[in-house]
Structure 1
Amino acid sequence: MNLVWQRFTLSSVPLKEYLDTSYLHRLMVGILHPWRQTSILMQWGDTIAAALLSLIYALAPFVSSTLLGLLLVACVGFWVLLTLSDETSLINAASVTPIHLVVLLYWSIAVIATALSPVKKAALNDLVTLTLYLLLFALCARVLRISRLRSWLITLYLHVSLIVSVYGIRQWFFGAKALATWVDPESSLAKTTRVYSYLGNPNLLAGYLLPAVVLSLIAIFAWRGWIRKALALTMFVANTASLVLTFSRGGWIGLVVGLLAAMALLVYWWSVEMPTFWRTWSLPIIVGGLIGVLVLAVIFVEPVRVRVVSIFADRQDSSNNFRRNVWDAVFEMIGDRPIIGIGPGHNSFNKVYPLYQRPRYTALSAYSIFLEIAVETGFMGLACFLWLVIVTLNTAFMQMRRFLESRSAEGLWLIGAIATLLGMLAHGTVDTVWYRPEVNTLWWLMVALVASYWTPLTRQRNQPNLQPTAY
């Protein structure tokens, strides 16, 4: 059974042997290596790549999608240059992981969906966008393998998210003009401020801050020194408060899932050092405490109570009713093209959805990433995406156990990545802010963070334990 699971999750795939015998790998990788050896600028290739990534994650909340697209193009172009001029032995070391293989398969399915799309021109434009995101993952996975660059990018994102959160909290105290109809005018929340900070949309802000909440929680334990820990605690409180004040129900669901996953994994991480009582009861106490806080908030805070109750109001809530009508149309779209879908991207969706939409229920997306993927690339694409999630989480758990044996604090960041991915998937079940560049770039950063720690299974067995790291 273990062997079957290893094959399903590609844990035992001999990637090094495959790369050694791949003609495409020999033809493409390293053909510019002689030039790179004489180039002074390319000696700093990974640092330059990190600088380009830093621009994306530093500017994402503040600039237009067009500028982010140009930065993505620059990152992809530089990744191509790095790959063509790379040293073959470095690629064989571990730069290609099982996650890369499933990402490549997902892209291949998207290409087929584009070729068979009823709106090929629109699908082709969005295939280019999808390709940029997937190659962003490849560049991030490469750069994050370097410890100091990994630490820099995580720290940069957390500092930027703190700025975003503080401005969101300021909007709560001083008010903010609603830029769209986010609340039913007849609801008791019609006059309640929903913060959106620099992102212009409370649901989008919630999606952007969700990784920051989890990573800042992990930073409390991973960063050394009381000053840094105090900063991490400040980030956690500010990020959590700002996310809660978005009053995004999907964001709240993602927050609960992310925090519960992080706490459960942290208890597992320290369980070997805990007394028997705390090893048995720490997780129930934490979960019970979190549930208690939620219950008290629902009872005593009216805006929270109204938003939580509306989750279960079905069609009686205008937002729920809108999604239900959109989903009904989406199910029909999936039923007509169940295998390969209509082609990737919101442009394809916008071309086809009007043929199925209910009167007065226009939509730019399926309001669920799982339904959106099924619409765009059919059940083939959805199955591949779910496989990608399983392979990524399995890789993270495997490497986390490796760090657990050596008590290296690097394993804490894998806990953060796992919890963030689960939280983002929970949020994405009822919303599609996941597709916005501010959020999508963070998703692929988390997937790349997991991939950056990957060690081949055969090498892992023979590798000596790392030196314990204090934290």
Structure 2
Amino acid sequence: MYALAAAAGFLAGRWKERVVSPGARLFPVVLAPGLTAGSQALAWLRGSMLGPALLNWPEMAGLCLIILAFPFIPVPATAGLILLLLVIFVLRGHFKGALSLPLVWPATAFLLLLVFSSFFSVTPRESLPVTALFIVFFLFYLMAVKELGSRRKIYIAVVVFLLSAFLQALVGLYQNFISRPLVDPSWVDVGLFPEIAVRVFGTLDNPNIMAQYLVPAVILGGGMVWQVRSLAGKTFFAGQTALIAAALVFTYSRGGWLALILAAALFSLLRDRRFLLLAAVLLAGVFWLQQDLIASRLASVGNLQETSTSYRTFIWQTAYRMISDFWAGGVGPGTAAFREVYNKFYMVTGVTAFHAHNLYLELLVETGLFGLLGFFWLVLGYFSYGLKKLVRMPAVFEKTILAAALAGMAGYLVNGLTENSWYSFKLVLLFWWLLALGVSAARLKAES
């Protein structure tokens, strides 16, 4: 437990140095303030309501630390925490039976296809670490499903995830109203949208990435508003969810907005159609914030004169050409392989491309037809397993969480039509987290 606290403190120090005070040399020695923050966090945890549970469950504490921290810390640090948690699981004998969990077969098949593509990649030295990271995230999925075996633990994990999304939203709102970093010219057509001076990105480096991270959080937050009984609880989660949704608006991500609408509608159909009223009120409030700009932004989705749309259309056409040449095994996992092939054989002067700006085209380019089929097997297996369990569940907490996890994943996948979600490894981990949350809720037996 103290090792986890020290790790949390160290990462807090690194985050404070890199995110809160970028460019400033306020923390030349990171370890000391990190350990101090870790000890303070441990002291606070002991006195909090969730403290006894987390301190008696080191696996749960480690899992919550990862869920809370991964949007804010470097990906290698997240991978290190996952491997540290794996050591704890193995030493305490809690990893037994992990390979018999749902989705292990399709996930293993998909990962084996990634390994195959990595060895035959055009850039194997770059592709193999990418595949290794996917395997580490799969281990996170296994540990999360093993650990989230009760309603109480799922509740804690969801609260921690919403806290993380809330903190991310606060960073975004700070950017929108206070720091106001200049918008990257590649993020917006200033000719069509001169009024967009800022697109918030939080600590995720890109507005579209941030939007995709926030969509499942809005759905889960709405589910918590619907599920909790006390007025104080409903007020708390409603306020938290509203701020997360506001940050999502200020990303100005059209794909994120459309994904949220679809996810909210699906959650309503899966859980309770009365939720449509709550969703409509929330969306109306969000729309009211920037009604003219939001309307014009959504109306521009099919406008080929808009620079973002025209650029994506060109990249998609180029991706189709790449797929026709590398349809079987792909060029190799990771954007380095994509760039290598694009720059050598398909590049048009003045047009750079790092990825296909579409999750499914990117998977086809990187891993070929069989890799995409493996991914579809995994995703369809998740929805098949979740929906079969959902229809037999009574109207209890775990049904709400399962419906929200399924709807959040649907929004995630819809967003993948307009963006290569896996360009950010933090969104790759979000994918495995949504899988773990949905499967964990589906495995619960009804509790009194």
| TM-score (norm. length: structure 2) | 0.79
Query: Following the alignment from structure 2 to structure 1, what is the Cα–Cα distance between the partners of residues 123 and 55?
Result: 39
- Offset from partner CA, 1:267-297 (integer Å, 9 cap, x none): 26xxxxxxxxxxxxx69x8599689959986
Give the aligned partner of residue 85 of structure 2. 75
Deviation at 1:424, TM superposition (A): 0.4
Q: Which residue of 2 aligns with 1:358?
A: 348
The superposition leaves residues 16-52 of structure 1 with CA deviations (integer Å, 9 ceiling, x where unpaired) of xxxxxxxxxxxxxxxxxxxxxxxxxxxx999323222
Structure 2 match to 1:272: none
Partner-residue secondary structure (3-state), 1:403: coil
The separation in 2 between residues aligned to 1:427 and 1:228, in whole angstroms, is 30
Deviations 1:92-136 (A, max 9, x none): xx8723411110110111111122223222221211122112221
Greater relative contact order structure (CA < 8 Å, 6+ sep): 1
- Given the superposition, is the C-alpha separation of residues 51 and 352 from structure 1 closer, same or farther in structure 2, using an over 3 Å criterion? farther
Q: Does 1:55 align with 2:55?
A: no
- The partner residue of 1:436 within 417, 424, 433 is 424
2:436 alignment counterpart: 448
Residue 305 in structure 1 maps to residue 309 in structure 2: no
Structure-1 residue corresponding to 2:219: 214
How has the CA–CA distance of structure 1 residues 359 and 77 changed in structure 2, closer, same or farther, with 3 Å as cutoff?
farther
Larger Rg computed on CA atoms: 1
Give the alignment partner of residue 152 of structure 1, picking from 130, 134, 156.
Answer: 156
Counterpart CA distance in 2 for 1:259 and 1:116 is 41
Q: In the alignment, residue 267 of structure 1 is paired with which amino acid?
A: D
- The whole-number CA distance in structure 2 between the counterparts of 1:436 and 1:119 is 19
The aligned amino acid for 1:334 is I
Q: Is the 8 A contact 1:400 1:414 kept in 2?
A: yes
Match of 2:400 in 1: 412
Taking the aligned partners of 1:379 and 1:231, their CA distance within structure 2 comes to 46
* Contact 2:399 2:441 (C-alpha < 8 Å) held by counterparts: no
Are 1:176 and 2:180 an aligned pair? yes
Q: 1:192 aligns with which of 190, 197, 222?
A: 197
Determine the C-alpha separation between the residues in 1 that align with 2:70 and 2:80: 12
Asked if 1:240 is matched to 2:245, the reply is yes
Give the distance between the partners of 1:222 and 1:295, measured in 2 at CA. 22
In the TM superposition, residue 77 of structure 1 has moved relative to its aligned partner by 4.3
**Alpha-carbon spacing, 1:287–1:198, altered in 2? closer, same or farther (3 Å):** closer
Report the equivalent of 2:118: 114
Paired with 1:194 and 1:218, the residues of 2 have a C-alpha distance of 27
Specify which of 161, 169, 179 is matched with residue 165 of structure 1.
169
Matched to 2:349, the amino acid is: P
Contact 2:207 2:253 in 1 (8 A): yes
Letter in 2 for 1:198: T
Aligned match of 2:37: none
> 1:395 is matched with which residue?
385
CA contact (8 A) 1:368 1:429 kept: yes
- State how far apart, in whole Å, the 1-side matches of 2:225 and 2:416 are: 27
Give the corresponding residue for 1:378: 368
| CA-based RMSD | 3.0
Q: Which amino acid aligns with 1:439?
A: L
> Structure 1 344/59 Cα, relative in aligned 2: closer, same or farther at 3 Å?
same
Q: What are structure 1's unaligned runs of at least 5 residues?
A: 1-43, 269-281
Q: For the Cα contact (< 8 Å) 2:263–2:410, is it kept in 1?
A: yes
Report the AA paired with residue 347 of structure 1.
Answer: A
Q: Do the aligned partners of residues 107 and 191 (structure 1) sit closer, same or farther apart at CA in structure 2, a change above 3 Å counting? A: closer
Identity of aligned pairs, percent?
25
CA distance in 1, matches of 2:332, 2:55: 35
The whole-number CA distance in structure 1 between the counterparts of 2:214 and 2:107 is: 25
> For the Cα contact (< 8 Å) 1:399–1:453, is it kept in 2?
no
Alpha-carbon offset, residue 338 of structure 1: 0.8
Q: 1:369 and 2:359 equivalent?
A: yes
204-213 vs 170-179, which moves further: 170-179
Distance 1:120 1:99, change over 3 A: same
SS at the partner of 1:430?
A: coil
CA contact (8 A) 1:62 1:198 kept: yes
Q: Which segment is superposed worse, 240-249 or 110-119?
A: 110-119
> In structure 2, how many angstroms separate the alpha carbons of the residues matched to 1:466 and 1:257?
28
Rounded to whole Å, the distance in 1 between the matches of 2:87 and 2:256 is: 34
Give the whole-Å Cα distance in 1 for the aligned partners of 2:113 and 2:359: 17
Which of 196, 200, 225 lines up with 2:230 in the alignment? 225
Q: Which runs of 5+ in 2 are unaligned?
A: 1-53
1:213/1:239 contact within 8 Å kept: yes
SS of equivalent residue, structure 1 residue 55: helix
TM-superposition CA deviations, 1:412-468 (whole Å, max 9, x none):
10011011000000111111244423322222111012222455xxxx9xxxx8455
Question: Are 2:246 and 2:286, in contact at CA under 8 Å, matched by a contact in 1?
Answer: no
- Give the secondary-structure state (helix, strand or coil) at the position aligned to 2:201: coil
Alignment match, 2:208: 203
How far 1:247 sits from its partner (Å)? 0.4
| Structure 1 pair 430–186 and aligned structure 2 pair: CA distance change class (3 A) | same
Residues 334-345 of structure 1 aligned to structure 2 (within 5 Å): 334-345=323-334
* Partner amino acid, structure 2, of 1:111: V
**Is the contact between residue 175 and residue 193 of structure 1 (CA under 8 Å) also seen in structure 2?**
no
The one-character-per-residue Cα deviations of 1:231-264 (angstroms, maximum 9, x if unpaired) are 1111221111110111011111211111111122
Question: Could you tell me whether the CA contact under 8 Å between 2:175 and 2:181 is conserved in 1?
Answer: no
* 2:16 match: none
Contact 1:325-1:358 at 8 Å conserved across structures: no
CA change 1:286–1:127 in 2 (3 A) is same
* Residues 453 and 196 of structure 1: CA distance in aligned 2, closer, same or farther (over 3 Å): closer
Alpha-carbon distance between aligned partners in 1 of 2:200 and 2:161, rounded to the nearest angstrom: 20
Q: How far apart are the structure 2 equivalents of 1:65 and 1:323?
A: 27
Counterpart in the other structure of 1:253: 258
State the distance in 1 between where 2:68 and 2:287 align: 37
Alpha carbons of structure 1 residues 387 and 174: separation in structure 2 relative to 1, 3 Å: same
CA offsets 1:146-196 (integer angstroms, 9 cap, x no match): 433222111011112222223323433335112632212323335432222
Among 91, 97, 100, the alignment partner of 2:101 is 97
Give the count of matched residue pairs: 393
